[in-house]
Amino acid sequence: MKTSLKQEFYKFRHQRIPLYGAIALVILMLYAAVSSSDVNRMIIAQGFGAGQWITIIMITIASTFVAMEYENRTIMTLFYKSSNKSAIYFAKFIVMVVYGVLMLIFGMLLTFILKAVMVGGKYQWGAMYGQHSLVTDLVLNTAGTFIYLLFIITVAFLLITLIRVNAAVVGIGLVIIFMGADFSSLIMSALPHLAAIIKWNPLNMVFVINQLANSSYEKFSDLSLLQIITGNLIYAVIFIVIGDLLFKSRRV
């Protein structure tokens, strides 16, 4: 595991893609800041959409990070040099989680800068609004995004192991992120008698991004805070276990 981790970190930090991910985040947050007619407290608390942008960036990067092994045919060398294929899979997962955390921290720093530039002293970080201060809301939204990142990275890994086509995985990932919540709400309202079961569907898990800071999202997800956090973590475990089994069993 140690060797795999060392190798995966080595490969990741020698790529341009982590830098491109950070640049993309700057551009997307800037876009969110300048395109909104009124930079209000809510958009600041949501880190100028950082949660959503990081999720999109991460599904792309996570999928590419696995796909490159098949594209460059390095998977064969990785496999024969290691007795533990799972170690390779989990090392990649850990690298992605670490990168995700760094992106979240970077997103928070950018939020501080953008807020200072866009609205200056308006909306004090420590000023209470409802239950939380602005900075607490930002931290909670970031924590919510972190939980969803675990879910989305495992989804990306599972999908790329299954279909091996990077573009398709990114496409499916974007559908999950952008349309998953609406689709989930639609099914729950269309089938109210099954809502108790349907609310646990994976598309519903995206609400965790905002639900930590804003409990009113509970009415969209139909899950309590504890339920949605647990749901995300359980799905992450299921996806990573299935992904790992597929990763190990696919012919190279």
Partner 1 sequence: MLNVSNINTFIGRKKIIKDVSFQVNPGSIVGLIGPNGAGKTTIMKTILGLTKFTGTISVEDKTVTENNHAALTRVGALIEHPAIYPFLTGLENLKLYSLDEADMNKVVSMLKMDAYINTKSKGYSMGMKQKLGIAIALLNKPQLVILDEPMNGLDIEATILIRKIIKQYAAQGSAFLISSHVLGELQKVMTNVLLITEGKIIVDEPIDEFNRGSRQQYHLLTEDMPETEKLFVENQIPVTKSDDYLVISRELSDQVQDLLYSHHIRLVELSPQGLSFEQTVVSLLQQQRRQSHEN
User: Which residues sit at the interface with partner 1, rule CB under 8 A?
Assistant: 7, 10-11, 14-16, 68, 72-77, 79-83, 251-252
Whole-number minimum distance, CB 251 to partner 1, in Å?
Answer: 7
Alpha-carbon dihedral angle through residues 214, 219, 224, 225, given to the nearest 10 degrees:
-20
Residue nearer to partner 1 on the CB measure, 88 or 169: 88
Residue nearer to partner 1 on the CB measure, 96 or 155: 96
Whole-number minimum distance, CB 10 to partner 1, in Å?
Answer: 6
Query: E strands within the chain?
Result: 128-129, 132-133
Tell me the C-alpha distance between 182 and 203, whole Å.
9
Residue nearer to partner 1 on the CB measure, 3 or 124: 3
Tell me the C-alpha distance between 144 and 175, whole Å.
20
Question: Could you tell me which residues are beta bridge partners of residue 129?
Answer: 132
Whole-number minimum distance, CB 236 to partner 1, in Å?
Answer: 25
Residue nearer to partner 1 on the CB measure, 95 or 114: 95
Residue nearer to partner 1 on the CB measure, 71 or 182: 71
From residue 210, give the alpha-carbon distance in Å to each of 61, 97, 185, 201, 220.
23, 20, 16, 17, 11
Residues 212, 140 contacting (CB under 8 angstroms): yes
Query: E strands within 23-150?
Result: 128-129, 132-133
Whole-number minimum distance, CB 103 to partner 1, in Å?
Answer: 19
Whole-number minimum distance, CB 9 to partner 1, in Å?
Answer: 11
Question: Could you tell me which residues are beta bridge partners of residue 133?
Answer: 128
Residue nearer to partner 1 on the CB measure, 3 or 189: 3
Tell me the C-alpha distance between 200 and 202, whole Å.
6
Whole-number minimum distance, CB 66 to partner 1, in Å?
Answer: 13
